[in-house]
């Protein structure tokens, strides 16, 4: 089960969106700026450690996740989008990667590989000049 983000740990602020949009973009603060301090959050410690270890441009040196959502004209839709993206980031580190256990190829696999290499070499030998 993936941990849910406590809304009290998230700092949301409305800002003006960038880009074209005319009067709406110039007058209405519909974009949302989300800040989430990883160390101060109520997430479990192993998830905090994995989040802080991520090489993600949205995470500052201070361990704060910064997400800007401005896709929609609605502030509420942008707020939901920012929270969804934060939850996706947390979900990505919630599942531990499986540990790879190195294995050796079987004798039969080794033999088939070497036989194939020999066949290829013989085929290439036949490509040479024909001597009468």
For residue 111, being part of any structural domain is answered with no
Per the structure, how many domains does the chain have? 1
pTM of the predicted structure, to 2 decimals: 0.70
Q: Spell out the per-residue pLDDT of the chain, length 132, in tens.
A: 678 888 889 999 998 888 776 777 777 788 999 999 999 999 999 999 999 999 999 999 999 999 999 988 889 999 999 999 999 999 999 888 889 999 999 999 999 999 999 999 999 998 988 887
The confidence score (pLDDT) of residue 19 equals: 75
For residue 125, being part of any structural domain is answered with no
Q: What is the dihedral of CA 64, 67, 46, 99, to 10 degrees?
A: -130
For residue 18, being part of any structural domain is answered with yes
The token pair that represents 5 in the structure block: 């983000």
Domain holding 23, by residue range, is 7-94
């Amino acid at each position: 089960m993936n941990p849910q983000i406590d809304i009290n740990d998230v700092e949301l602020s409305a800002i003006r969106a960038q880009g074209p949009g005319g009067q709406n973009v110039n007058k209405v603060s519909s974009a949302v700026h989300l800040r989430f301090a990883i160390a101060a959050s109520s997430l479990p410690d192993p998830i905090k450690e994995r989040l802080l270890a991520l090489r993600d441009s949205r995470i500052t040196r201070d361990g704060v996740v910064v997400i800007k959502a401005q896709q929609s004209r609605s502030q509420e839709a942008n707020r939901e989008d920012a929270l969804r993206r934060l939850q996706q980031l947390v979900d990505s580190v919630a599942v531990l990667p499986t540990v790879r256990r190195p294995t050796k190829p079987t004798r039969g696999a080794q033999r088939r590989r070497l036989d194939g290499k020999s066949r290829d070499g013989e085929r290439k030998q036949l490509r040479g000049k024909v001597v009468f």
